[in-house]
Structure 1
Amino acid sequence: MSQNDTWQQQVWQQPPAPQPGAPIPGGEGAYYAQPYAPQPAPKKSRGWIVALVAVVLVFVLLAVGMVSCAGVMTSFGSLGTSSSTSGVDYLMSDAVGVIELDGTIQYDGSTCSPEGLKEQLDIAAENGHVKAIVLRVNSGGGTATAGEEMSEYVREFSESTGKPVVVSSAATNASAAYEISSQADYIFTAKSTAIGSIGTAMQVTDLSGLYELLGISIDNITSSDSKDSSYGTRALTEEERAYYQAMVDQINETFVQTVAEGRGMAVEEVRALATGLTFTGIDAVENGLADEVGTQQDAVAKAAELANMSAYTTVALEPAGSDLSTLLDLMSSSDVSVENLVAAMKEMENDGRLAH
C-alpha cells in the first residue's frame, strides 16, 4: 500500500481499496474480481464486398453475352461442327471468314465498295487460320465500275491464295452484286431469291417541259454541243442517244463476259440470260447462274469442305471495332477457350492498350 493510500485512509476513515485477486476477509475462499477490461471490437469481415463484386461481374458478363449472342454465328458443317468467335486477329484455329455485301454496290468504304471488300480479302489472304471465304450477298446492284473492280478482287483472291470463295444469296443478288458473285467457286441461293438481272442501264431525265411550265429558262454555256446532254435541261439528240446506247452495250458486254468467265459458261449462253430481269433461285440453279439451293449454313459448310476442313470456326470479316469490344465478344462466347482469351489479352497488352 502506498503512503498516499495510507494518508487517505487516515483522513477520511475509508478502508484501503481492495486489490484485484486479493482474498475477501471472511469470504471463505472468495476473491476480489479482476476489473473489467473492454475487449477490442472484432474486425469486420470484408468478404461480402468481394462476393458482391463477383456477383456484379457475373451479371455484367451475362448482359454482354446476351447482346453479343445476336451477332454470333454457329454453323454445323457436313464434315464436322463449327463454333463461332469474333475477331480475326485472335483466331487460334482454322476458320471460314464471312463477308457481308448488304446494300448498294458503290464507293462508300463499306464491304459493299471496292476498297472495303479488298481490305477484308487482304486480311483473309494474310491470315493463315482463314482457309475459306463466304460472301453473304443481299444487294440489288449499284455502280457498274464498282462491281467490275470488286469482281476482279474476288477473282484475284481465289487465284492467288487458293482459298475457296462461296456465295450465300439472301433476298436479292442482282446486277453488279451478281457480277461479283459470279467469280466465286460456288453459289448458293434460296428458292425465292431474286438473282441475276444481268444488264446495264443509264438514265437521262429531260425536265425541259416542266421548266417551261414553271416559266424557268436555263441557258447552258458549254465547250461542245453534247456537254450538257445529261443535264436534264433538254431532250437528247438522235446522235447523242445512239452514242449513249453504244456505251451501255459496251459496258454490258463486259458484264456478260465476266459472268461467262466466272461461271464457266459460253458467252452466248450468258447473253441469252442477260435480259435485265432477275430469276428465282430455282430457275437460277436450272439455267446455271447458281449451283444449289441452300442456306448460309450450307454455304459455310461447303466452303469448309472445299478447303478440306473437318473442324472449323466462323469469323465475321468486317471493319475493325475497338480491342475492348472484341475482347468482350470473346468473353461472352460460350465456347471460347482460355487460350483464345489469354492470346487476346496479350495482344492488347503488347499494343499498349491495356494497363495494370
Structure 2
Amino acid sequence: MPQDNNWQQQVWQQPAAPQGAPAPQPQGCPPYYQPEPPKKSRGWIVALVAVLCVFGIIALGMWSCTSAVSSSFGTLGALGSTATTSDVDYLTSDAVGVIDIDGTIQYDGTTCSPEGLKAQLDVAAENKHIKAVVLRVNSGGGTATAGEEMAAYVREFSESSGKPVVVSSASMNASAAYEISSQADYIFTAKTTAIGAIGTAMQITDLSGLMEKLGISVDNVTSSDSKDSSYGTRPLTEEERAYYQDQVDQINETFIQTVAEGRGMTEDEVRTLATGLTFTGMEAVENGLADEIGTKEDAVAKAAELAGVERYATTDLGPAGDGLSSLLDLMSARGASADDIALALKELEDDGSIAH
C-alpha cells in the first residue's frame, strides 16, 4: 500500500511539460488505471443550429414579403374593377380610337355586345381629341338582335358626333358582324377575309328519334299545342315549320334593309347577295360589300383622312384595365422610369387607394 501511495503522489505532482513538448506518460500504472478519453467537439451541432436558424429567418422573410405583395396585388385588382383610367385620359392631341369586335356577337358586356360597344362609342363621342373611330372586326356573327342594336349604335354615332367610322376586317366579318360593319363610312378587307354571309338561320333540333331508341319518354304539359315546338322532343308540324320560316324571312328582311341603307345600295342589290354565304375580300370589293383591300393601318389612315387630320395618335378603346398590371403597362408605354412608377404607387397609397 505504501508503494501505491507513493506512485499516486508521483503522478499528481509530476511537473508540467514544457510548451510544445509531448506530455509525459505515467510509468508503472496499476491495472485499474484508465486514462480519461478525450472529449468530443460539439461545434458542428452549434453550426447546424445556426444554419437552420438562418434558413428559417429567410423563409419567414420571403413569406412575409409574398403576403404583402399578394395583399397589394389583390387590392389593386379590386380597385381596377372600378377604375376608369386609360390611354384616352392622357390624350392631348388628335387621335383615332380603335375598338376591337373580336368574338361572337351576343350580350356579354364586351365590345361584342350592344352595351360594351355603345360604352366605347360614347367615350369616343365625348372625347374632343378623338376625331374618328376604327372598328377592328374579327367575328362570324351571332345573335340577330344584338347585331341589330349594335348596327344602330354605329349609325347613330356617326350621325350625331360627326366623327367617321372605318372598318378593318380581319379573318372573318360575317353575318351579324357584317350587319354592324355595313353602317360604317368605309370598309377595308383583306383579300382572304371571309366577309358577308347576309342571311338568317334558326335551328331547332329534334331528338325524339334518339330518345325513343333510348327508351326515354317525355310528356310536355303546355298551354297551347305549339308551346313545346322548339323543345326538341318531337318533330315540327307543317304549320309550325311555316310559322318559323316566316319569322326567319322577316328577320332577314331587316338585315337586308340595314345593309342597303348602310352601303348605299338598293334592297334588290343586297338581296341578290344575301345567299347566306361569305365572299372573299376581293369579291366583296367587286360586289360593293366592301370598299378597299387594306390593313388595319390603312383603315386608321383612312379614318384620319375622313376626319380631316394629318397628325394623329391611335388609342385603343376598351374596358378599363384591371389593377397593377394595367397601371404598370400604361406608365411603361409612356416612358415612365422606375422612380416614377414608385412615386405613383406611393401617391396611391397615401390617398388610401392601396391598402396593406
Per the TM superposition, whether the score is higher than 0.5 is: yes
For 2:354 and 2:304, how far apart are their aligned partners in 1? Answer: 35
Task: Give the 3 Å change call, closer, same or farther, for CA 303–220 of structure 1 in structure 2.
Answer: same
Does residue 268 in structure 1 map to residue 279 in structure 2? no
Match of 2:117 in 1: 117
Task: Give the 3 Å change call, closer, same or farther, for CA 349–266 of structure 1 in structure 2.
Answer: farther
Query: Alignment partner of 2:187: what SS?
Result: strand
Deviations 1:71-96 (A, max 9, x none): xxxxxxxxxxxxxxx61111111111
Match of 2:93 in 1: 93
Match of 1:136 in 2: 136
Query: Alignment partner of 1:108: what SS?
Result: coil
Summarize the alignment of residues 35-46 of structure 1 with structure 2, pairs less than 5 Å apart: none
Aligned length: 267
Summarize the alignment of residues 185-264 of structure 1 with structure 2, pairs less than 5 Å apart: 185-264=185-264
Task: Give the 3 Å change call, closer, same or farther, for CA 232–163 of structure 1 in structure 2.
Answer: same
For 2:187 and 2:252, how far apart are their aligned partners in 1? Answer: 22
Does residue 171 in structure 1 map to residue 168 in structure 2? no
Query: Alignment partner of 1:230: what SS?
Result: coil
Amino acid paired to 1:148: E
Match of 1:77 in 2: none
Query: Alignment partner of 1:168: what SS?
Result: strand
Amino acid paired to 2:261: E
For 1:294 and 1:251, how far apart are their aligned partners in 2? Answer: 31
CA shift for structure 1 position 323: 6.8
Task: Give the 3 Å change call, closer, same or farther, for CA 202–209 of structure 1 in structure 2.
Answer: same
For 1:349 and 1:151, how far apart are their aligned partners in 2? Answer: 43
Task: Give the 3 Å change call, closer, same or farther, for CA 206–130 of structure 1 in structure 2.
Answer: same
Summarize the alignment of residues 48-67 of structure 1 with structure 2, pairs less than 5 Å apart: none
8 Å contact kept, 1:136–1:168: yes
For 2:334 and 2:114, how far apart are their aligned partners in 1? Answer: 35
Query: Alignment partner of 1:229: what SS?
Result: coil
Amino acid paired to 2:228: D
Does residue 107 in structure 1 map to residue 107 in structure 2? yes
Deviations 1:278-334 (A, max 9, x none): 000000000000000000000000001111111111111011014754543343227
For 1:188 and 1:332, how far apart are their aligned partners in 2? Answer: 32
Amino acid paired to 1:308: G
CA shift for structure 1 position 349: 9.8
- RMSD of aligned alpha carbons: 2.6
For 1:121 and 1:351, how far apart are their aligned partners in 2? Answer: 31
Identity of aligned residues (%): 79
Q: Choose 299-308 or 323-332, whichever is displaced more.
A: 323-332
Query: Alignment partner of 2:135: what SS?
Result: strand
Q: Choose 116-125 or 318-327, whichever is displaced more.
A: 318-327
Task: Give the 3 Å change call, closer, same or farther, for CA 211–292 of structure 1 in structure 2.
Answer: same
Amino acid paired to 1:211: M
Match of 1:287 in 2: 287
8 Å contact kept, 1:87–1:326: no
TM-score (norm 1): 0.70
Amino acid paired to 2:258: T
For 2:171 and 2:159, how far apart are their aligned partners in 1? Answer: 28
CA shift for structure 1 position 160: 0.3
8 Å contact kept, 1:182–1:262: yes
More helix per residue: 2
Task: Give the 3 Å change call, closer, same or farther, for CA 217–327 of structure 1 in structure 2.
Answer: closer
For 1:333 and 1:175, how far apart are their aligned partners in 2? Answer: 36
Task: Give the 3 Å change call, closer, same or farther, for CA 202–153 of structure 1 in structure 2.
Answer: same
Deviations 1:61-114 (A, max 9, x none): xxxxxxxxxxxxxxxxxxxxxxxxx61111111111000000000000110000
Task: Give the 3 Å change call, closer, same or farther, for CA 349–264 of structure 1 in structure 2.
Answer: farther
Deviations 1:203-255 (A, max 9, x none): 01111100110011110000000000000000000000000000000000000
For 1:230 and 1:321, how far apart are their aligned partners in 2? Answer: 41
For 2:324 and 2:128, how far apart are their aligned partners in 1? Answer: 24
Runs of 4+ in 1 over 6 A off after TM superposition: 347-352
Task: Give the 3 Å change call, closer, same or farther, for CA 107–312 of structure 1 in structure 2.
Answer: same
For 1:87 and 1:323, how far apart are their aligned partners in 2? Answer: 15
Runs (5+) with no aligned partner, structure 2: 1-85
Amino acid paired to 2:262: G
8 Å contact kept, 1:189–1:295: yes
For 2:158 and 2:325, how far apart are their aligned partners in 1? Answer: 31
Task: Give the 3 Å change call, closer, same or farther, for CA 91–223 of structure 1 in structure 2.
Answer: same
